[in-house]
Chain A
Amino acid sequence: MQSNSSMRTPLGRVRGLGSAKSGTGHFWLQRLTAVANLILTVIFVFIVVALVGKPYPAAIALLSHPLVAILMLLFILSACIHMRLGMQVIIEDYVHEEGMKILAVMANTFFAIAVGAASVYAVLKLSFGG
């Protein structure tokens, strides 16, 4: 049987959430998206470099190619999840007043979703011919 030497309550141990209330899930998703970003960033840089100096029709043709569009969507998705988690860690490190912290974490989530939604909308509109 487990002794009572731990500072944590039995319920706290079972839920395993720690002080950030999201536990290792947060840490893991940050690492998962970091690995995805590593690959997708290289692809993203190639796409952007290929677009330099291209006139509008050629640029649109490239961006709306299914493979390019899908990779762009994956990059946007992975980057937005990753940066939201990363910024949340920064907020938790520097903002200690509870109300401000909640507001900042909320604003961070809104920012990530807004940037992601706008980018996804644009890529899909280009792909489906708009």
Chain B
Amino acid sequence: MSVAHRVTGTGLYLGTVLIAAWLVAAASGPAAFDTAQWIAGSILGRLVLFLYSFSLMHHMVGGLRHFVWDMGKGYEPQTRMAMAKFTLVISAALTILIWVVVLATR
């Protein structure tokens, strides 16, 4: 079992409140939406969004590892270490890619 998968899963769980709040703000009209966008664009907002995007990518790539385990493969210590490193590197790369695109198109 992977603690990181559990921590990111819990973070994503709590973060769904923010996604719901943002969608409800969009449905409530321009004023509420602008407020939500302002919060999301603040320093704290961006920090939370950055952590959320990294958690999402890490949990997603880590989920692939669970699929390998579910097929009864990848339980050897070296394979586990390799998959853990793969998860970290790929999810970090995907997170950076997302933010490069966001900052470039903003």
Check B101 against A115 for contact (C-beta < 8 Å).
no
The prevalent SS among residues of A at the interface is: helix
Q: Is A115 within 8 A of B17, CB to CB?
A: yes
Given contacts A49-B98, A122-B26, contact A86 B13 (CB under 8 A): yes
> How far apart are the CA atoms of A9 and B17 in the complex, in Å?
43
- Contacts A115-B17, A126-B27; is A34 near B66 (CB within 8 Å)? yes
> Which residues of A in the span 22-69 have a Cβ within 8 Å of any Cβ on B?
31, 34-35, 37-38, 41, 45, 49, 52-53, 56, 59-60, 63
| Contacts A45-B56, A90-B6 given; does A119 touch B20 at CB 8 Å | yes
Query: In the complex, how many residues of chain B place their beta carbon closer than 8 angstroms to a beta carbon of chain A?
Result: 30
Distance in angstroms from B56 CB to nearest chain A CB is 6
B26→A118 contact, CB < 8 A: no
Q: Are A87 and B13 in contact (CB under 8 A)?
A: yes
Within 8 A of A (CB), among B32-78: 33-34, 53, 56, 60, 63-64, 66-67, 70
Closest B residue by C-beta to A72: B23
Task: Kindly state whether residue A99 has any CB partner on chain B within 8 Å.
Answer: no
Q: Does A125 contact B (CB under 8 A)?
A: yes
Among A53, A119, A123, the one with the most B-chain Cβ atoms within 10 Å of its Cβ is A119
**CB–CB B33/A59 < 8 A:** yes
Task: Give the CA-CA distance A125 to B70 in the complex, in Å.
Answer: 40
In the complex, per-residue mask of B1-30: 1 if CB is within 8 Å of any chain A CB, else 0: 000001001101100110111011011001
**Quick one: which of B17, B30, B102 contacts A56, CB cutoff 8 A?**
B30
CB pair B10–A90 under 8 Å, yes or no, is yes
CB-nearest residue of chain B relative to A84? B13
Whether the Cβ atoms of A119 and B26 lie closer than 8 Å is no
Chain B residue nearest to A42 in the complex (CB)? B60
Asked whether, in the complex, the Cβ of A83 is within 8 Å of the Cβ of B24, the reply is no
B-side contacts of A59, CB under 8 Å? 26, 33
B106 contact set on A, CB distance < 8 A: 52-53
Q: Which residues of B contact A (CB under 8 A)?
A: 6, 9-10, 12-13, 16-17, 19-21, 23-24, 26-27, 30, 33-34, 53, 56, 60, 63-64, 66-67, 70, 98, 101-102, 105-106
